[in-house]
Amino acid sequence: LTFMWSQSLMSMWHAQNYGSCPESGSRVGLSYPGAPESVAKQNELAQGGAEASMMWECRQVLDTSGETCKMVLNPRVCQELEVDDVEQCIDLVAVFPSLLLLMEVMPKCEKGPSTDFAGCMIRESHSPVMPGFFDTINRTWPGKPITAELLNNYSDKVSHATGYPSFTQAELNQACKARVSLLSIASQVLSTPLDQMQSMLEKAKQEQAEGKELDPFFEKCNHIVYLYGCDHEANEYTIWTWGGRVKLPREMITGPSNMTVKRDVPGPWNWGSVCSAITADKITFGTEADMQVDCIGGERTCSGNECCPASVATGNKALPCPSADPGWNGCVETPPWLVA
């Protein structure tokens, strides 16, 4: 079920970008032993869309009101995108469309007039997301001509900014405080024995003390996981992934606070394993109409943090809606399901 759910979400993400469901681009199949090379390559290319698809999924599945879904990045990665304003930087990352779609359409437009490149991309893609994508680029870099070179450069910069681990204690704290947190992580940290990682960390500390440049132990972020729990005092952070839980110390998530590593491009890269997070502070599951539940007594429906009217069934007392947030009670009486 986990794989069916994941593949369906990925297919929906690509279909949203394409504006339809073409066999060539939006359908994400399961990889399996003996699969033809063409199928395996297609599935590999179609594996989600990093932070942009995570934001989309948050708004589609977790908080469909779209009010609390947020992207958490190390602000210093925005320097890689040449953007000073963090919110503008996050917007730029969040609107990045399906790479499959860009790869299909760009060859059709990059040989044409550079002044019409953006217009060509919008026309040829037939994508409902492409106009907003180019509008965001225009607002971020006003006056810069949108060309194939700019788009390729932008794609590389987003890949670096969100692909290399740079999460710090500050970003981890934000993720831990949220009701739901999804982390973009280097899967290597989930499959390598902890004692081996600890040994490599001690080696890195020794090399740092000797004044050497440090190579990263974890590669690029390539996996999305659920942050199940944070125990700061015990230095234990629980990750839910692949149908099980993995407990990691902070050093394996953010790396030591004073330890940076060298990559192929300059940036705030550290020895940790996490690149970003998508968080939500409430779970709404569907539209407001979908969330309507019956008040006690069934005389009317309600949704979330609101009061149901007094009725015979409630002993003539106004009570919170059964779907109200745990602990919320803006009504006169405490309902029976909130009584300890």
> Which stretches within the chain are classed as H helix?
2-18, 37-45, 50-57, 86-94, 99-109, 117-125, 130-140, 148-163, 169-177, 188-191, 194-209, 250-254
Write down the pLDDT at residue 23. Answer: 62
pLDDT, one tens digit per residue, over 192-217 is 999 999 999 999 999 999 999 999 99
Q: Are 63 and 283 in contact (CB under 8 A)?
A: yes
Write down the pLDDT at residue 260. Answer: 93
Q: pTM here?
A: 0.77
* pLDDT greater at residue 112 or residue 253: 253
Percent of the chain with pLDDT over 90: 44
**Sign (positive or negative) of CA dihedral 137, 141, 142, 146:** negative
Q: What mean pLDDT is reported for the chain? A: 84
d(CA 274, CA 175) in angstroms, rounded, equals 11
pLDDT, one tens digit per residue, over 118-171 is 999 999 998 888 999 999 998 888 888 999 999 999 989 898 899 999 999 999
> Mean pLDDT over residues 69-92, rounded?
91
For the record, the structure tokens of 110 come out as 């990059």
> Mean pLDDT over residues 29-35, rounded?
69
